[in-house]
Structures are given as structure tokens and as C-alpha cells.
Amino acid sequence: MAESQTEVPVRVLLLEDSPLDAELAIARLEKAGFALDVVTAYDRATYLDNLQAREYDLVLADYALPDYDGLSALEATRALYPHVPFIFISGRVGEEVAIDTLQRGATDYVLKQRLERLVPAVTRALHEAREHATRMLAEERFRESESRFRRVIDALPQMVWLSTCDGSLAYTNKAWMESVPAGTRSWLDEGVIHPDDRESCLACRRRAVAAHEAFSCECRLARGSDRSWRWHLIRMVPLQSARAESGIACVDWLGTATDLQEQKLNEEALRTAEKLAVTGRMMAGIAHEINNPLESVSNLIFLARLESKDNPRVLEYLDITENELARVAAITKQTLQFYRDPLTPTEVDAREILEDVVRLFSTRLASKRIRLTLEVEKQIVFRAIKGEIRQVLINLVGNSIDAVPAGGEIAVTARRLWQHNREMVQIQIRDNGVGLAPAQMERLFQPFFSTKGAHGTGLGLWVSKGIVEKHEGTIKLVSDGENGHKRTTATVLLPLEVSEGRLLNQNAS
């Protein structure tokens, strides 16, 4: 007995109408050391039933049977199992028939008169089948690995790409495709990098390419959705390529782009806040120093009034002077109050805070002859960080004054309402100014977007939105036409009660 060629039995489906021929074929294989698990079919029905009942490692089939033929059996087998070895075992047939069976997908053809060829044919067929299965498994694992890699890379918030040595893109992740303008072939394309940043980035890249070294640079890239510029950190790492041109090794480049826009905005906001804090301290100091001479001037006016009680004209001038000094004193007091506002939630009276804000703008309102009306429901008190809410209201009223032409109107209202299952205070500032275009409305609360050109910082509404949302409220602006005029309404909605822990936590952060 020859040494066993298989440890696990080979599952064989044998199509043969002659029991003797079937036994001879099986005996030949078992003598060669094959362990077999054979199912024999003698007609078409039995063959098809057994073919569908289980999987096989090998099919042996006679070419011609009384009610069936080998080519039909081959076609049925290939429909279910495209890669199972199929070997014909038949009597004398012509060379053309043998070639036809191979062209139709048969693995081999063995004549019954030369049955000694059966063992090498089966050995070769099983070996090729195992190699094919191993190759298919490796390819499947590679596809799974590639799919897993792509899912991981696509889940990254950074843009990732691979460029070949000639600069063309070989791979991009989902973030790249969703972020860059349509049709972009490289991060170096015209219109992708901000013109002010382009030359410095290209110079950095040229130095890195010459030295085959990684490099990084910060620049603004165009966002595909709205063509806005956003700061990114670009990192490029050289990868040795197997390709070569003219005998020079190619270097591919793996690139990433990390969005820094929010970080840049936060840094700028922090710098602005620091400047405002310094300005506030300076204003408080100035206001404090102004108080002393104001008291002296007031005393002098009192004395001048005593000396001039017989001169009505002088008394009139002194009245005007005293009124103006009173206004200066009030503004000074408010300035000190702004600086001394607590950073913890307190009870805020809606009428009081709105009257303070309106009083602050009294000179600007008078100079532009703007009529401002204030309507506040009685006894509206809510909890908030007073200085922050005052900052929001100053920004909104100031924007309305800037937008309203001379002789215009501004209406400020405050009322209670029930919304989102909470009692709220609604503060509205409505003006009949120039209004806002739809394109402007879409970007109003974006940082550094301003409708005032060089006169605006673009931070007021962005900061206001953050303050209001921190207080669990909402802020929105609506601009519409009415009687041929544009009207813009700013609406701030704040809960009467807010989570003090939430406010303090956000302040700390």
C-alpha cells in the first residue's frame, strides 16, 4: 500500500453508469493512497440531487451515459461550484472532443484504457485546487484588510492623501473628498491654498523634496462647500516607492491636513478677551480718576450759581453745564459698574439692564436723531451673569444704531413667555435700517465675519451667541421687508432660571 496522500478524506462525486468502471477508478485512487469519501451517481437525477446536497473536493464523470451526458454534468457543476476539479473518465473519444471539454471548463480528461493517468491527474487537480483556495483566501484577507484600513482612514477627521512622485493623487480619504473643492487633483492646485500662504508652502515643500525629509506648514485651504478659507496644518512624509524612472528611485508622499480653524479662532478670541480685560481695567482706572475732578467742577458750578443768581443767561449756561456733567458722571458710574460685575449668576432685572444699555448710547442716538422706544413688562427678573448679558445687549443695540440711518427708529421690548417647557424672557431689538442680505444671514454668527467692513471685528455676534447658549438660551436675527423698508429683528431668548453649575463650569473651561 502506498503512503497515504491525504489525511482528510477527499469528497468525491462519481458519475458512472457502469458499476465495474466505478470500482476500478476508486480502487486505482485508493491504491495510490488517497482516502476517499465517494458518492456514486448512476443517472442524471441522482447526480443532480447529490450535487446539491453537499460540497465536493473532486468530480469524476463519464462522458456519455444513457440518459445524461458529461458536458451537461460539467455545466451543472460549474453553476454551483466554479472551482471544483472536474475530470472526465471515458472510453475512446477523439482529440477534438477532449479539447472541447477542457475549453468548456473541465480540469482534465482520462481515458478508461489508460487509467494509470488517473492518479497523477487527480493529484495535480487537487494541488491546483488547494493553491487556488489559498490564493482566494489570501485575496479575501487582503480585501478585508484594505477595507478595514479604508474604514479607519475614512473615520479620521483629518484629510489624508497619498501622492506619487510626479505629484498626482494615488489615494484620498473621505474627509479629503468632502472638504476640498470639486475637481481638485492635488493640495497644490491653484485656488486650493490661500494666495497669501501659497508661496511659503511651496518653498517649504521644495526644501523637503530636495532633502527627502518630512515637513509641515500652516496655511489656509479652500473649503469645497462654500469656498471659505480655513486654517490647516499640512504634514507630508516621504515614502520610498518600488517604482523607478530613469534609474532614479521614486518617492511617494503621504499627506495629512488637520483643521486648525477653531483653534485659531479660540486663540484670537482669547487674545481679544485679554485686550478687552486690559481695556476694562484701564477704563475703570480712568473712570475712577475722573470722579475727583467731576466733584470739583460740580462744587465750582455751585459757587458760580451763587455768584450769578442775578444773571439769568449765566444761570442757563450753568444748568446746561450741570446736566452734561451729570451725564458724564452717569457714564463713569456705568463704566465702573461694568468692570465690577460679578462673574457668577445673579438676579438681573430686565428693565434695569436695558435702561442702562440705552443710557450708554444716548449720545449716539441723539447725534443720529434716532427714536428709540423701550417697552418692558413689569417685574421680569432672571438669573444670569449680568456683565455677559449686558455685553450681548450692548452689541445688539450698537449694531442697530450702526444700521439705522439718521432719523430712523429702534424698538426694544422685553416680555415673558413659555417655551421649551420653561418660563423665558424674550428680548427683541427691531430697527428699520439697511437690513441684511440672505448671503449675510448665513454667515452672521461665524467668527470674523462682519457687515461693517474695516469698522467691525466680526467677533460681536459670535461671542454673543456663545454667551447666550451658555445661558441655555437662543439668539437669532431676521431681516425682512415691510412697507418698502427693511426691518431687522434680533431676538434673545433666555430662561428665567439657569443651571448655576453649568455656567460656572463653562466659565472655568
Q: What is the C-alpha to C-alpha distance for residues 365 and 349, in angstroms, rounded to an integer?
A: 23
Confidence at residue 51, expressed as pLDDT on a 0 to 100 scale? 93
Confidence at residue 38, expressed as pLDDT on a 0 to 100 scale? 93
What average pLDDT does range 3-31 have in this prediction? 85
Domains and CATH numbers, the chain: 10-135 (3.40.50.2300), 156-259 (3.30.450.20), 262-340 (1.10.287), 344-509 (3.30.565.10)
Ranking 244-248, 268-272, 288-292, 504-508 by mean pLDDT, the lowest is 244-248
244 pLDDT above the threshold of 50 = no
Please report where in the chains the cell 456519455 appears, as a residue: 64
Q: What is the C-alpha to C-alpha distance for residues 399 and 408, in angstroms, rounded to an integer?
A: 13
Please report where in the chains the cell 483629518 appears, as a residue: 158
Identity of residue 14: L
How would residue 274 be classed by pLDDT, with cut points 50, 70 and 90?
low
Please report where in the chains the cell 439718521 appears, as a residue: 406
Range 285-291, long-range pairs (CB < 8 A, 24+ positions)? 286/335, 287/332, 287/333, 287/335, 287/336, 288/336, 290/328, 290/332, 291/329, 291/332
415 pLDDT above the threshold of 90 = yes
Q: What is the C-alpha to C-alpha distance for residues 504 and 388, in angstroms, rounded to an integer?
A: 13
111 touches 90 (CB < 8 A): yes
Cα atoms in the Cβ-side hemisphere of radius 13 Å centred on 486: 14
How would residue 67 be classed by pLDDT, with cut points 50, 70 and 90?
confident
Ranking 1-5, 190-194, 300-304, 307-311 by mean pLDDT, the lowest is 1-5
243 pLDDT above the threshold of 60 = no
Q: Which residues contact 474 (CB under 8 A, 6 or more apart)?
A: 468, 491, 492, 493
338 touches 303 (CB < 8 A): no
- State the Cα angle at 23 between 20 and 28, rounded to 5°: 125
- In 3D, which of 314, 286, 287, 284 has the Cα closest to residue 301? 314
Strand partners, 430: 411, 489
How would residue 120 be classed by pLDDT, with cut points 50, 70 and 90?
very high
Q: What is the C-alpha to C-alpha distance for residues 139 and 325, in angstroms, rounded to an integer?
A: 88
Share of the chain above pLDDT 90, in %: 30
Burial (CB count within 10 angstroms: exposed 0-12, middle 13-18, buried 19+), residue 355: middle
70-83 pLDDT per residue, tens: 899 999 999 999 99
This prediction has a pTM of: 0.45
478-495 pLDDT per residue, tens: 887 544 457 888 999 999
377 touches 414 (CB < 8 A): yes
Q: What is the C-alpha to C-alpha distance for residues 234 and 201, in angstroms, rounded to an integer?
A: 9
- How far apart, in Å, are the Cα atoms of 361 and each of 44, 396, 461? 100, 12, 18
Ranking 69-78, 243-252, 257-266, 284-293 by mean pLDDT, the lowest is 243-252
- In 3D, which of 182, 185, 184, 160 has the Cα closest to residue 259? 160
212: left (phi over 0), alpha (psi -120 to 50) or beta: left
Mean per-residue pLDDT over the chain, rounded: 81
428 pLDDT above the threshold of 90 = yes
> What angle do the packed helices 70-80 and 44-53 form, to 10 degrees?
20
Q: Which residues contact 284 (CB under 8 A, 6 or more apart)?
A: 335, 336, 339, 340
Structure-model confidence comparison of residues 331 and 82, the more confident one: 82
How would residue 112 be classed by pLDDT, with cut points 50, 70 and 90?
confident
- Identify the top-confidence range among 167-181, 273-287, 304-318, 435-449: 167-181
What average pLDDT does range 315-332 have in this prediction? 72
449 pLDDT above the threshold of 70 = no
Ranking 14-28, 236-250, 310-324, 337-351 by mean pLDDT, the lowest is 236-250
What average pLDDT does range 276-292 have in this prediction? 64
251 touches 244 (CB < 8 A): no
Q: Which three cell numbers stand for residue 377?
A: 413688562
